[in-house]
């Protein structure tokens, strides 16, 4: 007795086929001499990816503009040029460390280091005025890196790559942090960029030293990303056997190079802490000024199981408040379920779980999320759960793995469209919350 017939795959839908035929016809309209210079076929995927990133950057820039009033990273970059690790004045009442007449920034320093060349051209105040443009550029780079990563993983269809680019750019907290700006949010854009670049390298030439340098810089931007090293260590064992001496030597050599890339950032982190606060283990988060309700949570521990239930709610369960008028819901600023803001990430579950690479990506996602779920801060003020951005690049890679086996059909485009609508709501509430 035979079982029921397998349902027809929704990924091979008529709309997707129609779009593919339309794309082919548009390319066919390009003069032959442009499509085949010197007898070779142009690969349009790279230029299209640049175009997608540019359009995304334009959308980010048009929607950005909220003045958070916290250009700490630009002033810290300028302070580094003058041999200081502190600011001469506080730029806000919270997330500042007043100590011996100086004001320290508790947030990790790599974004400020990255902005140091910019401070040779413009002042911190001017950079603050251009912050929407700077953050929009960073977010556009993130979108472009997703396109590149998808290609290196093996996603050939341009519509599937577009699906992934839209997912990261406009159905995660990337859009919100770009619009809101400020010291808290720019760091997310930089860390996402570095993590995506490391993943692209891992699925490309796999140069362990470069991967280590990128992960180290991401650690100096958002420390939880360091737990993603697990994935990169696994990647460097692919196509090599631990059963042979040559395989073991190759793995050991690459792991040493990976560690050599990460080590300078870790050493710098401890030195930076010691110079500022007299202890390599004091990052400043324990000393920063906070609203009273956050101080109460911090007194339970920077990282504690007591924060897990609350953060899990903000990450997975928290819903907005219904209101009777447009847009018919209102976030409370504490957080919002990722199932509501980023439902497209569920595609990651369709990855090939017979492949240890998928398991490595999934485990890395969990490892990076754990410290965020145990952290006292919760991410306030936010739309979605912005701390998840530390781990989302690994989930995006899993979605790309899934798209090497299944097209993003009508259902998944509908799921993405729902997330895009919710993301657009975040732009509205960025100015009205």
Instruction: Check if the beta carbon of residue 420 is closer than 8 Å to that of residue 171.
Output: yes
Does the residue 46 lie in any domain? no
Does the residue 24 lie in any domain? no
Structural domain count of the chain: 1
- pLDDT at res. 328: 85
For residue 374, the enclosing domain spans: 62-432
Does the residue 177 lie in any domain? yes
Query: CA 293, CA 141: separation in Å to the nearest integer?
Result: 36
Does the residue 52 lie in any domain? no
Nearest CA to 227 out of 107, 361, 357 is that of 361
Does the residue 20 lie in any domain? no
Does the residue 12 lie in any domain? no
- pLDDT at res. 25: 57
Does the residue 138 lie in any domain? yes
Whose tokens are 């990450």? That residue is: 315
135: left (phi over 0), alpha (psi -120 to 50) or beta: alpha
Does the residue 2 lie in any domain? no
Where the chain has pLDDT below 70, the residues are 1-42
């Amino acid at each position: 007795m035979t079982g029921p017939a397998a349902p027809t795959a929704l990924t091979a839908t008529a709309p997707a086929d129609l779009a593919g035929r339309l794309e082919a016809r548009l390319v066919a309209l390009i003069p032959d001499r442009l499509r085949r210079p010197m007898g070779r076929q142009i690969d349009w995927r790279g230029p299209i990816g640049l175009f997608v990133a540019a359009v995304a950057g334009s959308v980010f820039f048009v929607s950005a503009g909220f003045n958070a009033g916290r250009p700490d990273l630009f002033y810290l970059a300028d302070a580094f040029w003058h041999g200081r690790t502190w600011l001469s004045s506080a730029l806000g009442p919270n997330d500042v460390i007043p100590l011996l007449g100086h004001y320290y920034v508790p947030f990790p320093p790599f974004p400020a280091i990255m902005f140091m060349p910019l401070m040779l051209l413009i002042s911190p105040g001017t950079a603050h005025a251009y912050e929407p443009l700077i953050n929009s550029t960073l977010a556009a780079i993130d979108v472009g890196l997703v396109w590149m990563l998808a290609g290196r993983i093996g996603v050939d269809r341009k519509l599937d790559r577009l699906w992934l680019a839209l997912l990261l750019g406009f159905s995660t907290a990337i859009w919100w942090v770009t619009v809101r700006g400020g010291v808290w949010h720019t760091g997310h854009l930089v860390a996402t960029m570095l993590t995506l670049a490391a993943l692209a390298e891992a699925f490309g030439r796999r140069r362990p030293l470069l991967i280590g340098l990128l992960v180290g810089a991401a650690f100096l931007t958002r420390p939880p990303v360091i737990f993603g090293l697990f994935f990169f260590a696994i990647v460097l064992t692919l196509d090599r056997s631990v059963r042979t001496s040559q395989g073991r030597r190759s793995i050991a050599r690459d792991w040493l190079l990976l560690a050599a890339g990460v080590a300078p950032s870790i050493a710098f982190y401890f030195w930076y802490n010691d110079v500022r606060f007299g202890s390599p283990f004091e990052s400043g988060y324990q000393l920063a000024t906070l609203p009273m309700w956050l101080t109460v949570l911090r007194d339970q521990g920077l990282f504690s199981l007591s924060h897990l239930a609350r953060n899990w709610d903000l990450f997975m369960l928290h819903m907005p408040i219904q209101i009777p008028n447009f847009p018919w819901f209102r976030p409370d600023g504490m957080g919002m379920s990722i199932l509501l803001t980023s439902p497209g990430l569920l595609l990651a579950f369709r990855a090939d779980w017979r492949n240890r690479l998928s398991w490595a990506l999934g485990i890395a996602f969990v490892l990076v999320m754990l410290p965020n779920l145990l952290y006292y801060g919760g991410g306030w003020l936010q739309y979605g759960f912005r701390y998840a951005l530390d781990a989302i690049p690994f989930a995006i890679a899993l979605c790309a793995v899934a798209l090497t086996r299944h097209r993003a059909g009508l259902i998944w485009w509908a799921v993405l469209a729902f997330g895009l609508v919710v993301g657009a709501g975040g732009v509205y509430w960025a100015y009205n919350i």
